[in-house]
């Protein structure tokens, strides 16, 4: 698919990953006039009527050719534990309405495409490492984020069914934990890297003697720089027409304990680290097999982990209120 002449909706386009994707679209030659980013204050994508209005009003008198669905209601372990019902409903409702109303609006007849960004929270809790796409249905997700993960996995199943019945072209990407500039640094809802960066930077500024981290530090995670993820999503839109799940990752894992020590070093925090063992670790390990992304997309991550962390820390120091 040549993108430069396509009319494109990017849900979540004002967010962390969305901004990176919009930059990638512009690099690919798509003009500002052909990119529409629905804002939450204008369109509640959990409501069918608002999604119908989105498709009607995004490009007045014209139709959308490509939908990137990145919008999500999501957070870290704490936020997932507080909002399991909301996270299931919101993520399921958004995908349900966006996919069905795109079909009803003639996306298939226009040879358009729907790009769904999923989550590795959909994988079973004890998936063999590295995670391979064929393992997605072999068990129940880790409990603290299961409602969110199941909702996102159901969107994949819906796209598969719509491909079979209606011929809807789509692709389904599974990015590993993302990080990078413009991430969410709110301590109540952020993921592990931005939360740790904020903790360390603020503790350093206050000359604190210690920071407190959740769990034991024994769990491991893999992290992907946001700009690399956006490049993979864009590539899928160009070359993939069916929702075969495709992992997007950097091909490595790091224990949370080692991650904390690395961020402590990079931020210059001089205090100690205390582990709150009353808090959960989450899924024991996360690391992806990314062979399929290489094979089908010709895509690999480019930004080294320490370099990506340095850039993220630098951005947060310049934007501490974010």
Q: Quick one: CA torsion of 233, 236, 242, 67, rounded to 10 degrees? A: 50
Residues in the chain: 322
298: helix, strand or coil:
coil
Beta bridge partners of 214: 276
Burial of 129 per CB tally in 10 Å (0-12, 13-18, 19+): middle
- Which tokens sit at 287? 């690391």
141: helix, strand or coil:
strand
- Say whether 148 is catalytic: yes
| CA neighbor of 315 nearest in space, from 183, 212, 192 | 183
Catalytic residue among 55, 123, 148, 179: 148
How many contiguous H segments (helices) and E segments (strands) does the chain have?
10, 12
Active site (catalytic) residues: 148
């Amino acid at each position: 698919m040549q993108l430069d002449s396509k009319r494109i909706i990017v849900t979540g386009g004002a967010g962390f990953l969305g901004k990176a994707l919009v930059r990638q679209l512009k690099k690919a030659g798509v003009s500002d006039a052909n990119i529409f980013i629905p804002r939450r204050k204008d369109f509640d994508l959990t409501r069918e009527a608002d999604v119908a209005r989105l498709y009607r009003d995004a490009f007045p008198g014209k139709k959308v050719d490509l939908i990137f669905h990145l919008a999500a209601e999501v957070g870290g372990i704490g936020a997932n534990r507080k909002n399991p019902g909301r996270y299931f409903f919101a993520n399921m409702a958004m995908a349900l309405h966006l996919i069905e109303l795109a079909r009803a609006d003639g996306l298939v007849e226009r040879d358009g495409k729907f790009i769904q960004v999923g989550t590795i929270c959909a994988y079973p809790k004890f998936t063999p490492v590295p995670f391979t796409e064929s393992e997605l249905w072999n068990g129940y997700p880790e409990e603290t984020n299961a409602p969110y993960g199941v909702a996102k996995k159901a969107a994949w199943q819906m796209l598969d069914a719509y491909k079979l019945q209606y011929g809807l072209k789509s692709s389904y990407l599974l990015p590993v934990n993302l990080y990078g500039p413009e991430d969410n640094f709110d301590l109540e809802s952020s993921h592990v890297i931005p939360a740790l960066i904020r903790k360390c930077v603020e503790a350093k500024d206050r000359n604190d003697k210690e920071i407190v981290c959740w769990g034991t530090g024994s769990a491991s995670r893999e992290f992907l720089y946001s700009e690399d993820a956006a490049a993979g999503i864009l590539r899928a839109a160009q070359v993939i027409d069916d929702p075969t799940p495709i992992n997007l990752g950097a091909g490595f894992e790091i224990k949370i304990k080692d991650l904390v020590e690395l961020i402590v070093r990079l931020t210059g925090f001089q205090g100690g680290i205390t582990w709150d063992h009353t808090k959960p670790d989450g899924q024991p390990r996360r690391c992806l097999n990314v062979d399929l992304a290489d094979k089908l997309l010709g895509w690999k991550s480019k930004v080294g982990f320490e370099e990506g962390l340095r850039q993220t820390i630098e951005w947060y120091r310049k934007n501490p209120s974010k």
